[in-house]
Amino acid sequence: MLRFTYFLRSVLFVSLMAVATIIWAMACLLFAPLPYNKRYYWTARWNVFVIWLAKVVCGIRYEIKGLENLPDQPVILLSKHQSAWETIFYMTCMPRPLVYVFKKEITYIPFFGWGISLMRMIPIDRSKGKDAFAQVVEHGRRRLADGQWVIMFPEGTRIRVGEKGNYKLGGTRLATETNTAVVPIAMNSGECWGKNSFIKTPGLITVSIGKPIVPDGLSSSELMQKVEAWVEGEMRVISPQVYKKN
């Protein structure tokens, strides 16, 4: 009976989110002439609405630890990735505009892709290999110089609760090439909004932000080792019930 209730709530949530996405995608066209910071702010009101909707309809609450670790300077955020929740949430809580690195195919999604195309993100064609990373460096360097924050998910894709993906070096390579500090982030959204799961379950998502790690004297591999060690260690702090058997 409880699972059926969660299913009905999830149906309502997805339906309302879909309607909001269509409406807001149209509104984004009106925001296009605005200065970028204002355009970003108004576009991100969709994110605020969806996170609020998830809380009210599905009972998904959240807490943030370590906000004081965010420096007042350009950084590269490297986050655990378990669901779509965090990709929506981070634009609501970070003090500077975020620049996501994502597959260019996302821009082809009706309505959602149209809205994100108006933002200063970094869509990449993974089939281009080294050329794709060169694009990340080129655009990332400009965005960081503009004072924006680049955010990447080192595991590359959503990882199931309790599992660890292969941490790829793209984020730390960008950090070493631009001499930019990285900020590791651990979070457990998958416990409420599971990978490939339609049903959203009530609960508390914890987002834990670590202290910045500067790349001085470190290779991209060494820097990623530090990021991975902190993130995976912190996952066992915020989700001890998941890792107690590990």
Domain with 218, as residue range(s), is 2-243
Instruction: Supply the DSSP symbol for 213.
Output: B
Instruction: Supply the DSSP symbol for 61.
Output: E
Q: What CATH number does the domain containing 148 carry? A: 3.40.1130
Say yes or no to pLDDT of 246 above 60. Answer: no
pLDDT in tens, 97-119: 999 987 766 766 676 666 777 77
Side-chain-side CA neighbours of residue 175 (13 Å): 31
Reduce the DSSP state of residue 227 to 3 states and report it. helix
Q: Give every strand in the sheet of 122-124, ordered side by side.
A: 60-65, 203-209, 182-187, 76-79, 149-152, 98-103, 122-124
pLDDT-derived band at 135, boundaries 50, 70, 90: confident
> Which of these, 99, 182, 109, lies nearest to 135 by C-alpha position?
99
pLDDT-derived band at 144, boundaries 50, 70, 90: very high
User: How far is C-alpha 224 from the chain's CA centre?
Assistant: 18
For the chain, percent of residues with pLDDT exceeding 70? 91
Distance of alpha carbon 59 from alpha carbon 55, whole angstroms: 4
**Is the pTM value of this prediction over 0.75?**
yes
* Rg of the chain, C-alpha, whole Å: 18
| Residue 68 CB partners (closer than 8 Å, separation 6+) | none
CA dist 47 → 42, 86, 111, 187 (Å): 10, 10, 14, 18
* Count of domains forming the chain: 1
Say yes or no to pLDDT of 192 above 70. Answer: yes
